[in-house]
C-alpha cells in the first residue's frame, strides 16, 4: 500500500478505525481479531483506538487491550504499526459519552493506555474532545508534558476548530502531527480545519469517513446502489466496485494530508477499504463527487 506521513512516520494511506470492534453491537473476539489481522495483511499500518472505546461499564480500554492481543498473535513486527489512541472521554455504560479534559485526568489516562498497550511510549496520543469546563491551553499543556516526558512520541487533537488547532500548535509545535474531525460525503464542514492542516503539514484523519454512504455488497454494486441518487453510488456502479471504496478514494484525492480511518467489523470490509489505495479516480469523476 502506498503511504503518507504522520509526523515522522510513514503509514498506509488507509487506516483502520477499531471502535466498532468494542462498542455496542461488537463482534465476538475471534472475529474482531480476524478484522485486525486482515487489516495488517492488506497493508494497513495505522490503527486508531481510544481508552473510551468499550461497551459496558468497568471495561475501559477494551479496544486497546484487544489491539494489543491481536498484534501479539499476528506474528509480524508490531513496531511497523502506528497505534493512535485517545484520552479525554468516558463511557459510563448507559450509552452516553462524557468529556474530561483536565491535565490530571489526561496524565492518568495516558498511563492506563501505556499499560494496556504494553509499550513504554505511545506512538500517537490524541486529545479526544475539548472540555468546555477546562481552559484549552491547560488540556493541550498536558500533551506538552507527556511529550517532554517521553510518554508519547507525537500528539494529536480530535473534534476541534481551526482556532483550537492554531492555539495548540503554538504550544506543541512540531509535536502536533494529527487532527481527527468528522469528514465524509455527508459532512464537509471541516474544510477550514483541513485547509489549516494542509498548510501546517499536519495529517487529517477523518472519522466516520463513510457517512452518507449506504451499506452494499462488497462483491460489486447492488441494484440498490445502481438506483441510488448519490454520485458516489453512480461512480461505484460504473466502476464495478463498492461505493465505500469510491468514497475513500475520493477522500484521498481531496488532500495529500488525509489518511481516512474507516471502521470495520468484518475482514471483507477491511480488504475493500484497503483496496481504495489503488483506485485512481478521473478528473471527471472527482468533479462529480465534489459537487
Reduce the DSSP state of residue 262 to 3 states and report it.
coil
- Nine cell digits for residue 89: 472521554
User: What distance separates the 2 farthest-apart alpha carbons in the chain?
Assistant: 55
> The C-alpha cell of 26 is what?
461488537
The CA distances from residue 237 to 150, 157, 186, 245, 273, in Å, are 49, 36, 19, 11, 16
Catalytic entry in 53, 125, 169, 183: 53
Q: How far apart are CA 277 and CA 12, in angstroms?
A: 8
* CA 87 and chain centroid, separation: 14
What does the block give as the cell for 243?
Answer: 461505493
Q: Which of 139, 190, 192, 186 is nearest to 167 (CA)?
A: 139
Active-site annotation holds for 53? yes
Strands 152-158 and 176-180: parallel
- CA atoms of 35 and 269, how far apart (whole Å): 8
User: Could you write out the DSSP letters of every residue in 35-53?
Assistant: HHHHHHHTT--EEE--TT-
Residue 227: HSE in the Cβ half-sphere, 13 Å Cα cutoff: 3
* Grid cell of 141 as nine digits: 499543556
By annotation, the residues acting in catalysis are: 53
Amino acid at each position: 500500500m502506498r503511504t503518507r506521513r504522520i509526523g515522522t512516520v510513514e503509514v498506509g494511506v488507509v487506516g483502520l478505525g477499531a471502535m466498532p470492534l468494542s462498542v455496542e453491537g461488537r463482534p465476538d473476539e475471534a472475529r474482531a481479531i480476524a478484522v485486525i489481522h486482515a487489516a495488517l495483511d492488506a497493508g494497513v499500518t495505522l490503527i486508531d483506538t481510544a481508552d473510551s472505546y468499550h461497551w459496558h461499564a468497568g471495561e475501559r480500554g477494551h479496544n486497546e487491550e484487544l489491539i494489543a492481543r491481536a498484534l501479539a498473535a499476528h506474528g509480524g513486527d508490531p513496531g511497523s504499526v502506528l497505534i493512535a489512541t485517545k484520552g479525554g472521554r468516558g463511557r459510563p455504560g448507559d450509552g452516553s459519552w462524557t468529556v474530561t479534559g483536565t491535565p490530571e485526568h489526561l496524565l492518568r489516562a495516558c498511563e492506563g493506555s501505556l499499560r494496556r498497550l504494553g509499550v513504554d511510549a505511545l506512538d500517537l496520543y490524541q486529545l479526544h474532545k475539548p472540555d468546555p469546563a477546562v481552559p484549552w491551553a491547560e488540556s493541550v499543556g498536558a500533551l506538552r508534558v507527556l511529550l517532554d516526558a517521553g510518554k508519547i512520541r507525537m500528539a494529536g487533537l480530535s473534534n476541534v476548530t481551526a482556532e483550537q488547532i492554531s492555539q495548540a500548535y503554538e504550544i506543541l509545535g512540531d509535536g502536533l502531527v494529527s487532527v481527527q474531525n468528522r469528514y465524509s460525503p455527508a459532512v464537509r464542514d471541516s474544510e477550514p480545519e483541513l485547509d489549516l492542516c494542509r498548510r501546517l503539514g499536519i495529517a487529517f484523519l477523518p472519522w466516520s469517513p463513510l457517512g452518507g454512504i449506504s451499506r452494499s455488497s462488497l462483491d460489486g454494486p447492488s441494484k440498490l446502489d445502481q438506483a441510488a441518487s448519490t454520485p458516489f453510488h453512480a461512480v461505484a456502479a460504473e466502476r464495478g466496485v463498492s461505493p465505500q471504496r469510491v468514497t475513500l478514494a475520493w477522500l484521498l484525492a481531496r488532500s495529500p494530508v488525509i489518511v481516512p480511518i474507516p471502521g470495520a467489523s468484518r475482514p471483507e470490509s477491511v480488504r475493500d477499504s484497503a483496496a481504495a489505495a489503488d483506485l485512481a479516480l478521473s478528473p471527471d469523476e472527482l468533479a462529480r463527487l465534489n459537487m
